[in-house]
Amino acid sequence: MTHTALHRLVSPGAVKTGGRLRHCAKGWTLTNAHASVALAATPGCALDGLRDDALVRLDAIWDGQILHVTTLELIHSPPFAASSTLTTPAPGALSHSEAARARAALNTTARRFFAERDFLEVETPAWVESPGTDIYLNPFEADFNLDPGTAPPTLRGYLHTSPEFAMKRLLSEGFERIYQLTHVWRNGEVTALHNPEFTILEWYRAWQEVDEIIDDVEALVRRVLERSAHTLADAPFARRTMQEVFEAACGIDLLEALDFDTLHRAASARGLLSRRTHTSRRWDELFFELVVSHLDPYLATLGPIFVTDWPTELAVLARKNAHDPRTAERFELYIGGLELANGFGELTDPTEQRARFEADLIERQTLGLPTLPMPEKFLDALTHGMPPSAGVALGVDRLLMLATGAKTISEVAPFALERDEATGQIRWR
């Protein structure tokens, strides 16, 4: 495209240029080479019917402040054509450029936030030897072969589901305040709120309690959401235990129902269960059924809330609460029912951690899930000595959804997989 870069416009006169159209309260502007100038139509050249983000070339007269357009050629206009590399945004959805700018702004805000608090940004491998043993997470295998095409692989590896193990190994080496902005991968779900590849912001504080991390989360979320599409009240985010919110939503004291039979009887007596038969008799499966059907809708009616003190069975990497070992130092942040962050007061005892991993691996085998390797290098780091610490993982894509008013993760992550709700088919974008 023949064009004059807008930052080089100096003397008034005729101009050939091009760029992206942007529409604001004062009218149309043209952007190229990181510069923008106002546009005005001339007789015979209307600017009506154009779309934000359209790519154009034009002839114009530059008067020193405004480009007066004499001819305009439309090269490419959103919505994108079927041959485009990106899927057309739905009506009313964010444009891809809006989503990219919002993501860049959030990343900048986060990095400034942590720099102010003397955190060190770190990078750890996305390809790992052991992704963990969690029965609720399914990692992607990613094997390495010195001689591609041969079997078995030279090294069996996985795309990490979290940078947690590597970051905790850094804590054991003497790092005290660290954070990481990274992509992670989890197999199995494509929904309006889930994509197999997504972005998380994870950070840790050594020698500090989980309440310090909770304070960090609230402060960062407030900073990201100020002047955004989602306004927050000045009141501090609520903090309630899982026992409290579960009883409010279901009428059941969860800590008195930590086995399948007791929880099933209590839920049945209150008419809370679906008609399906619970053949697995797994307490955790029944608990999450009640969370989805009753607790999540209840949380959606509340403002921002930290749900703390989860049952120990659901917190394999968190230390038990000293005041009640039935619960662990795990919390999650919900805003309008949307889960944004998951954090722990970290378990540092290598013997207890190994026992929990072994229990997970036995459960994976019982459920017919793929066998995963024991995280031996992480356990070695705990044996070497990891200080008392707390940490959290925050979902960047979901926070972007709140900040921009987006309804789906694909609005803020334009390359996210696409699901046809009618057929269930999953497609690449």
**Which pLDDT score is estimated for 25?**
76
CA angle 88, 76, 64 (to 5 degrees): 125
* More confidently predicted of 346 and 9: 346
Which CATH number covers residue 362?
3.30.930.10
User: Residues 355, 214: one domain?
Assistant: yes
In a domain, 116, yes or no: yes
Q: Which of 71-85, 143-157, 304-318, 397-411 has the lowest mean pLDDT?
A: 71-85
**What are the beta bridge partners of residue 56?**
19, 74
pTM: 0.87
If residue 287 lies in a helix (H) or strand (E), which one and from where to where?
A: helix 283-290
How far is 190 from 416, CA to CA, in rounded Å? 9
* Domain final residue pick, 30, 47, 76: 76
How far is 248 from 241, CA to CA, in rounded Å? 11
* Domain final residue pick, 48, 76, 104: 76
* More confidently predicted of 429 and 123: 123
In a domain, 11, yes or no: yes
Per the structure, the count of domains in the chain is 2
User: Residues 137, 191: one domain?
Assistant: yes
In a domain, 316, yes or no: yes
Alpha carbon separation from 319 to 21, 125, 134, 331 (Å, rounded): 54, 26, 16, 12
Q: What mean pLDDT is predicted for residues 196-224?
A: 98
User: Residues 116, 226: one domain?
Assistant: yes
**Which pLDDT score is estimated for 360?**
97
Range of the domain at 37: 6-76
Q: What mean pLDDT is predicted for residues 27-37?
A: 90
User: Residues 46, 125: one domain?
Assistant: no
In a domain, 390, yes or no: yes
Confidence of residue 117 (pLDDT cuts 50, 70, 90): very high
Phi, psi of 418 (to 5 degrees): -115, 135
**Which pLDDT score is estimated for 79?**
58
User: Residues 16, 131: one domain?
Assistant: no
Alpha carbon separation from 109 to 4, 115, 224, 332, 403 (Å, rounded): 33, 10, 7, 22, 12
User: Residues 135, 220: one domain?
Assistant: yes
In a domain, 131, yes or no: yes
Q: What mean pLDDT is predicted for residues 340-357?
A: 98
* More confidently predicted of 147 and 129: 129
In a domain, 230, yes or no: yes
**Which pLDDT score is estimated for 50?**
82
Q: Is 196 exposed, middle or buried (0-12, 13-18, 19+ CB in 10 A)?
A: middle
User: Residues 122, 226: one domain?
Assistant: yes
User: Residues 71, 133: one domain?
Assistant: no
User: What tens digit of pLDDT does each residue of 274-320 get?
Assistant: 877 677 789 999 999 999 999 999 999 999 999 999 999 999 999 99
Q: What mean pLDDT is predicted for residues 261-282?
A: 88
| Percent of the chain at pLDDT exceeding 90 | 77
User: What tens digit of pLDDT does each residue of 217-251 get?
Assistant: 999 999 999 978 788 889 999 999 999 999 999 99
User: What tens digit of pLDDT does each residue of 358-386 get?
Assistant: 999 999 999 999 999 999 999 999 999 99
Which CATH number covers residue 33?
2.40.50
User: Residues 131, 197: one domain?
Assistant: yes
Confidence of residue 91 (pLDDT cuts 50, 70, 90): low
Whether 90 has a pLDDT exceeding 90, the answer reads no
In a domain, 29, yes or no: yes
User: Residues 58, 200: one domain?
Assistant: no
In a domain, 415, yes or no: yes
Nearest to 315 by CA among 213, 371, 391: 391
User: Residues 195, 323: one domain?
Assistant: yes
The per-residue pLDDT of the chain, averaged, comes to 92
**Which pLDDT score is estimated for 86?**
42
Confidence of residue 88 (pLDDT cuts 50, 70, 90): very low
Whether 1 has a pLDDT exceeding 60, the answer reads no
Q: What mean pLDDT is predicted for residues 173-196?
A: 96
* Domain final residue pick, 42, 76, 110: 76
User: Residues 33, 165: one domain?
Assistant: no
